[in-house]
Chain A
């Protein structure tokens, strides 16, 4: 096992900077999710680490050694491709055996290791099938077994669950996480799906236009986003823009919003505040608000979406639409068009430098 360090890596295709001075430290044995919109450079970054493509500048080390002159086959990585890339002419067992057999391992060892890997992904009985005889989820597990059977130092996963339906996806997430824990391998996981990133990884990196926007544990990124992009890309957020006051911001209409987390911005500078929809309390104004909720705003419900265990209210206020998520506690539901008071705590408000 080994950690991976990416230091100041840049890669351009023509005039387009696919990676722009990216530095990330992937800890040994950690599960790291790379998140970002389409075209943000996630695959490009994985390809640099795998050795399919080479950075214009910067350094990549695996297990402390620079891999600049190490070809793909010597890097001891395992990769699961977005389209699985199983060899169509080989059986499932031969696919999994491939990496061991090119190394020239004895036949008996190969057979035993292949069986173990297939058992690990719960496909022990399907070794004789051809890839086209498998379901999407089974193919994905074969690809995973094939990638881990060679005992790589690093596992690279490029949106491996992208093609699966929701239920299978959740099953596979749990299984993938279990396997990763079992063998304790450094894993870098590319995904489009923010929920997947939050539930599976112990660190998340968000890429945008080839730049690393923010990186850290999931709770930290969710609770203390450092940019409007990070706040809205990972989860939902209500964004207020105004001028910093030292303890929050002042909106253009004079309302102040207190914030006790996030960046420190000098008073007078432009800044914004982010509030998660589930942190806001919504009421008709009749009941007394929680005294801890120092931030209050008046508005009008424009729309309500009922989703079973919760409801999302869209509240119009001064030309801005705010989103509030309320757990279904059986309390009275608010009607569309009703005037309401929104309140939340400064602790739930993140100050972001513009």
Chain B
């Protein structure tokens, strides 16, 4: 690895350019151009496409600071992101551990498939199946009432927990996969070495395995936290009236109110906040990893 880098820098970047060109071309067309258009829109009073008059303004950004609703919703979304990430760690890490260190052969493949299945199903289908499970008189309600001797009323639909459940289900595979990869790379003899030195299973877990799987936990958390903060589909469908978050407000600007400039400005504020959070967390995480 170090050798390859050394060779690369000695030869310089020039020979690599033809190889990099297609990728950069694609990035320019697919991401950079639309994104710059959005930056442009975010400083406009109205869309030029509609044929109306427009002018440059900072008003879209000012709106975020003048109306407390937006910052309140942003905080709610950040909290949602944090909670979903934590649940994904709590559920995904043990699953990854079992996959990487306990199961062998066939059973590992089968369980692995089950874990990444949600990845392959359509997001809307997934969310509406949860809606069927969680609503009053739905599958969970019926099943629990069939088993329990007393009557209970489970109606999780259109609630905060429903949003959490839906999001965790959508995003937990990321955590399982990233943690599985780092756990897989931990040599079993490290675990045995820890035990031979007098550490119990639990001590080995806390002092050896978890520190060594930090890169996977961090990568998984970043992969989950960022999209969850901006999510709108799960909050809208599973959260109903309680499901108003920062992401749903942005979506509204684009598909309902057609205030693209405000939607774009709100998106860039979110992007800035997320980047600041990641930058602040980086030194702490680097020390942990």
Binding site for B on A (CB under 8 A): 50, 52, 71-74, 76-79, 81, 83, 85-89, 98-99, 102-103, 146-147, 150, 156
> Contact mask B66-101 → A, CB, 8 Å, 1/0?
000000000000000000000000000000000000
Cβ–Cβ contact A73 & B193, under 8 A: no
Residues of B within 8 A of A86 (CB): 193
Cβ–Cβ contact A73 & B207, under 8 A: no
Residues of A within 8 A of B192 (CB): 50, 52, 72, 79, 81, 85
Within 8 A of A (CB), among B177-212: 187, 189-190, 192-200, 203, 207-208, 211-212
A/B interface sample: 15 pairs, CB < 8 A: A50-B196, A72-B195, A73-B196, A76-B198, A77-B196, A88-B212, A89-B211, A98-B207, A102-B198, A102-B199, A102-B200, A102-B203, A147-B196, A150-B198, A156-B196
Cβ–Cβ contact A78 & B196, under 8 A: yes
Q: Which of A79, A87, A89, A103 contacts B196 (CB 8 A)?
A: A79
Chain A CB within 10 A, most for which of B189, B197, B199, B207: B197
Q: State the CA gap A247–B194 with chains docked (Å).
A: 57
Residues of B within 8 A of A77 (CB): 196
Q: Which of B189, B198, B212 contacts A83 (CB 8 A)?
A: B189
If A72-B196, A73-B198, A99-B197 touch, whether A87 touches B189 (CB-CB below 8 Å) is no
Residues of A within 8 A of B197 (CB): 73, 78, 98-99, 102, 146-147, 150
Q: State the CA gap A156–B189 with chains docked (Å).
A: 14
Cβ–Cβ contact B212 & A98, under 8 A: no
Min CB–CB distance B73 → chain A (angstroms): 40
Residues of A within 8 A of B194 (CB): 87, 98, 102
Residues of A within 8 A of B211 (CB): 89
Cβ–Cβ contact B208 & A87, under 8 A: yes
> Which residue from chain A places its CB closest to the CB of B214 in the assembled complex?
A89
Q: State the CA gap A248–B199 with chains docked (Å).
A: 58
Other contacts beyond A79-B193, A85-B187, A147-B197: 12, CB < 8 A: A50-B196, A71-B195, A73-B195, A73-B200, A86-B193, A87-B193, A87-B208, A89-B211, A98-B199, A99-B197, A103-B198, A146-B197
Residues of B within 8 A of A88 (CB): 212
Chain B CB within 10 A, most for which of A79, A83, A85, A103: A85
Residues of A within 8 A of B208 (CB): 87
Cβ–Cβ contact B190 & A85, under 8 A: yes
Min CB–CB distance B211 → chain A (angstroms): 5
Cβ–Cβ contact A89 & B195, under 8 A: no
> Which residue from chain B places its CB closest to the CB of A79 in the assembled complex?
B196
Residues of B within 8 A of A78 (CB): 196-197
Q: State the CA gap A52–B196 with chains docked (Å).
A: 9
Min CB–CB distance B201 → chain A (angstroms): 8
Nearest 9 interchain pairs by C-beta: A99-B197, A85-B193, A85-B189, A79-B196, A102-B199, A72-B195, A73-B198, A81-B189, A102-B203
Cβ–Cβ contact B212 & A73, under 8 A: no
Min CB–CB distance B212 → chain A (angstroms): 6
> Which residue from chain A places its CB closest to the CB of B289 in the assembled complex?
A89
> Which residue from chain A places its CB closest to the CB of B191 in the assembled complex?
A85
Residues of A within 8 A of B200 (CB): 73, 102
Cβ–Cβ contact A87 & B203, under 8 A: no
